[in-house]
Structure 1
Amino acid sequence: MSDRFTTRVLDVSTGHTETVTDLTRPCEQFLSEVAAGRDGLLNLFVPHATAGIAVIETGAGSDHDLLAALHTLLPADDRWEHRHGSPGHGRDHVLPAFVPPHATLPVLDGHLRLGTWQSVCLIDTNKDNPERQVRLSFLG
């Protein structure tokens, strides 16, 4: 594989609660190993039908606000036709339409170039699947 393109799978344990998991540090660690001061793009992809990637502020309540907003938009009740798993699990399968399973971010001089308050996060509302994978790919 070319050193211009490198990919790795990150295993993430999200547990049995709805979570916003900050992936910024693992992304930076990946880039420190593979980007070597180069410019390029970091792509994140979640190969799951019930999780997504968001670039948001964390630590100031925005992560909780996001989960609350998703509860308003996608209530965990019996309205969903997709009915296996926990009650309201059908909403988890609609989540990627609102929080996509991917993001592509700029890398300059081997580092993510996020805004001051931005973090890259895994959004997981599926209480039935506590283990996730995120594919990190650097092209540069």
Structure 2
Amino acid sequence: MTSTAFTTRVLDVTTGSTETVADLTRDCAAFLDEAAQGRDGLLNVFTPHATAGIAILETGAGSDHDLLAALHDLLPADDRWHHRHGSPGHGRDHVLPALVPPHATLPVLAGRLSLGTWQSICLVDTNVDNPHRQVRLTFLG
């Protein structure tokens, strides 16, 4: 759906067979170049998956790896989970969105993301059973 006030696009993201923090910041900025056309508004980033989330964090300096390590500590991939299909410990992946929500809404000023210096928009995916994800970007302005 496209109008002057509301534009949306779906990104197809391949996360592979390992736990991943995928930086989507460039994709979001490219979307806004087209959709926002210099306007102020909001960017909503949403992933329609029960085992993935959207996080705003620093990447490239180890924070992405630290996040995955922290999630491993909080949500170990063992047999404690009631949800038992898939890879061993897969039930933890279904708890992930309670800690890393499947959405984020960010301010857009003059058509650009209003992020802090070190902030990036990331898809967090600990589910090694599903290597293909979608992320919906929506600009409202």
Q: Which residue of 2 aligns with 1:92?
A: 93
Q: Distance in 2 between matches of 1:76 and 1:3?
A: 45
Q: Distance in 1 between matches of 2:135 and 2:4?
A: 20
Q: Distance in 1 between matches of 2:75 and 2:107?
A: 31
Listed as ranges, the matches of 1:14-93 within 5 Å are 14-93=15-94
Q: Distance in 1 between matches of 2:68 and 2:9?
A: 28
Kindly report structure 1 stretches of 4+ aligned residues shifted beyond 6 Å. Answer: none
Unaligned runs of 5+ in 2: none
* Cα-to-partner distance string for 1:27-73 (whole Å, 9 max, x where unaligned): 00000011000000000110000000000000000000000000000
Deviates more, 1:1-10 or 1:110-119: 1-10
For the aligned residue pairs, the C-alpha RMSD in angstroms reads: 0.5
Q: Which residue of 2 aligns with 1:136?
A: 137
Q: CA deviation at 1:3?
A: 1.4
TM-score, normalised relative to structure 2? 0.98
Amino acid at match of 1:84: H
Q: Distance in 2 between matches of 1:34 and 1:131?
A: 25
Number of matched residues? 140
Q: Which residue of 2 aligns with 1:8?
A: 9
Q: SS state of the match for residue 28, structure 1?
A: helix
Q: SS state of the match for residue 96, structure 1?
A: helix
Q: Which residue of 2 aligns with 1:113?
A: 114
Amino acid at match of 1:52: G
Is it true that 1:127 corresponds to 2:122 in the alignment? Answer: no
Q: Distance in 2 between matches of 1:44 and 1:102?
A: 5
Unaligned runs of 5+ in 1: none
